[in-house]
Amino acid sequence: MGLRRQWQVVLLAICLIFPLFTMGADEKPLIISQRSDALTLDPYDENESPTFCVLHNLFESLTCLDGELELKPKLATSWKAENDTTWVFTLRKGVKFHNGATFDSADAKYSIERALNWEGSEIKAAVLLVKTVEASDPYTLRIITKKPDPILPLRLETVKMLDKETCEREIAAHGQGYLVTHPNGTAPYKLVDWVKDDHLTLVAFDQYWRGLPPIKKVVFKPISNEVTRVAALLTGKTHIITEVPVRDVNRVERDPKLRLVKKPGLRLIYLGLDVGRDKTPGIRSSPPNPLKDLRVRQAIYYGINEPAIVKYVMNGFAEPAGQLFPAPVVGYNPAIKRYPFDPEKARKLLAEAGYPNGFEVRLDAPNDRYVNDDKIARAVASQLAKIGIRVQVNTYPKARFFQDEEEGKCSFHLVGWANNNGDGCGSLEYLLHTRDDANNLGTANNSIYYSNTELDRLTELAAQTLDPEQRKRYLQGAVAIAMHDLPHIPLHYQYDLYGISREVVWTPRRDTRIDCYDVRWRE
């Protein structure tokens, strides 16, 4: 072999081998394991935290919240109130969608109107007071509301921006379902592939307006089994896991390759009760429906030993709750305290209500959504048995559970809710306001059938009061009514527990979303 040929072989070998040694950390995929997969990639289709964790990296809104829930500009650079019912937003220039289209006010107008008017929208509550949206020029958006909406910029953080032309074209050709699997946002990552319940792969968007993210490839790999999820972290097969099982906290903390992050959470775990129907599906003997009697609901509250659930089921990684949201949320009422555990008083209340021997009821709950959700449901059932209430526990996957709950098929159910924007008004509008489809109020009220006109009045006043102290008082008043009527019985505020590889530099947010743009490899 001649010298020239030998050098050609050497150069070829270098070309083949060199990339293996020079592959930068930015080409290694960041693997994130949540307990469940995204339900959809249409940002208006579901209002669910694991789904939003993924969507947060594909889509952006006009406004955003930082990691401590402070409102910041995003695709809008600024906004102002012209009067009580008119907001003007100045939009960011030079923003591209993943398909190369340019973002402008026509896209913002289309997005807000779809969030409001599409019958499948799960985020209507964010824009329910919007009357008209005007694209004054390509980078000026004027929003006129039916009534004053002092927190509209905060609400719009929920509304991800869509490309008008692409959506209209593809929906006309394929129907609304096209958006479930074909996301086209402006965020730092775009979709490569999605194999449901196995993996969802994102790569950096090279035209992102803030510049390329430090990590170029991200894989969301859902692992529902707790043992498997922790094992994947311990063996380096995943870099971040959410919802570390409380029994494995010490194991993660002791591993020198890992770190555990504990954050007081915004999520309330609570029991919902059908307080409106005489015939209710989870109580075979109804009518009558014992849950309609306030004394029965009070008995259930007194009959639950929540400190014991926190200690033994949650291993101390939760805080007993006495109302709908924790102290950081606007509307928290410091005058309201949790009922003490008092089984004797619970039995007395049941007897006064006409149920000295208790009754039978089915408790529905997901088994793959919240930390120890199945175990919490069984602990509640065990405790209520001691006051005479015989509970049949029915736990099953979240996809079916949420559908049943939304369709009013539950009488007594365990569920969670987080005030991720730091304001309690949306929770009251969505969970407890009397069902009002015309104004998109009470849309999560399907299984409890609760109605209180004074709570409705205070909630509506809070939604349109500009003075922050006055609207806080309205919200606190509404919370006091809710905790008197007890359509919901609070259990605890969940701690957010993350297991993180020490290869990764990242600070979790208060709202549990994972913004992959803020993650980098340790140098």
**Average pLDDT of 248-252?**
95
Give 106's DSSP letter.
H
Q: Count Cβ neighbours within 10 Å for each residue of 366-391 and write b for 16 or more, e otherwise.
A: bbbbbbbbbbbbbbbbebbeebbbeb
From the list 450, 414, 447, 446, the residue with the least C-alpha distance to 432 is 450
- Cα separation, 321 vs 360, in Å, equals 26
**Residue given tokens 């694209």 in the structure block:** 135
17: number of Cβ within 10 Å: 10
C-alpha distance across the termini of the chain, in Å? 44
pLDDT at 252 over 70: yes
pLDDT at 12 over 70: no
Q: 308-362, pLDDT tens digit by residue? A: 999 999 999 999 999 999 988 999 999 999 999 999 999 999 999 999 999 999 9
pLDDT at 16 over 60: no
Q: Torsion angle, CA of 19/24/27/33, rounded to 10 degrees? A: 130
**Can you state the angle between helices 164-174 and 105-117, rounded to 10 degrees?**
40
- Tell me whether residue 96 is exposed, middle or buried, using C-beta atoms within 10 angstroms of its C-beta: 0 to 12, 13 to 18, 19 or more: middle
pLDDT at 24 over 70: no
Q: 30-79, pLDDT tens digit by residue? A: 999 999 999 999 999 988 889 999 999 999 999 999 988 899 999 999 99
Q: Do residues 255 and 234 make contact, with C-beta atoms less than 8 angstroms apart? A: yes
Domains of the chain: 26-37+172-263+497-521 (3.40.190.10), 59-166 (3.90.76.10), 266-494 (3.10.105.10)
Which residues, at least 6 apart from 358, have a Cβ–Cβ distance to it below 8 Å? 350, 387, 388, 389, 390
Amino acid identity of residue 92, one-letter, is R
- Cα separation, 341 vs 351, in Å, equals 18
- Cα separation, 304 vs 115, in Å, equals 39
**Average pLDDT of 413-419?**
93
The confidence score (pLDDT) of residue 53 equals 94
Give 125's DSSP letter.
G
- Cα separation, 411 vs 397, in Å, equals 18
pLDDT-based confidence at residue 445 (cuts at 50, 70, 90): confident
Give 25's DSSP letter.
G
Q: How far is CA 144 from CA 128, 135, 159, 244, 423, in A?
A: 12, 12, 16, 44, 22
199 bridge partner residues? 195
- Tell me whether residue 19 is exposed, middle or buried, using C-beta atoms within 10 angstroms of its C-beta: 0 to 12, 13 to 18, 19 or more: exposed
Which residues, at least 6 apart from 14, have a Cβ–Cβ distance to it below 8 Å? none
The runs of H, that is alpha helices, within 282-439 are: 294-302, 306-308, 343-352, 373-385, 398-406, 425-427
Q: Do residues 485 and 294 make contact, with C-beta atoms less than 8 angstroms apart? A: yes
pLDDT at 156 over 80: yes
The confidence score (pLDDT) of residue 177 equals 94
The confidence score (pLDDT) of residue 23 equals 40
Distance of CA 100 to the CA centre of its chain: 29
Q: Torsion angle, CA of 168/174/175/178, rounded to 10 degrees? A: -90
Tell me which of 412 and 463 has the higher pLDDT: 412
Amino acid identity of residue 290, one-letter, is P
pLDDT-based confidence at residue 21 (cuts at 50, 70, 90): very low
pLDDT at 493 over 70: yes
pLDDT at 301 over 90: yes
From the list 307, 276, 279, the residue with the least C-alpha distance to 294 is 276
What's the predicted TM-score (pTM) here?
0.79
- Cα separation, 69 vs 73, in Å, equals 13
pLDDT-based confidence at residue 372 (cuts at 50, 70, 90): very high
Q: 203-215, pLDDT tens digit by residue? A: 999 999 999 999 9
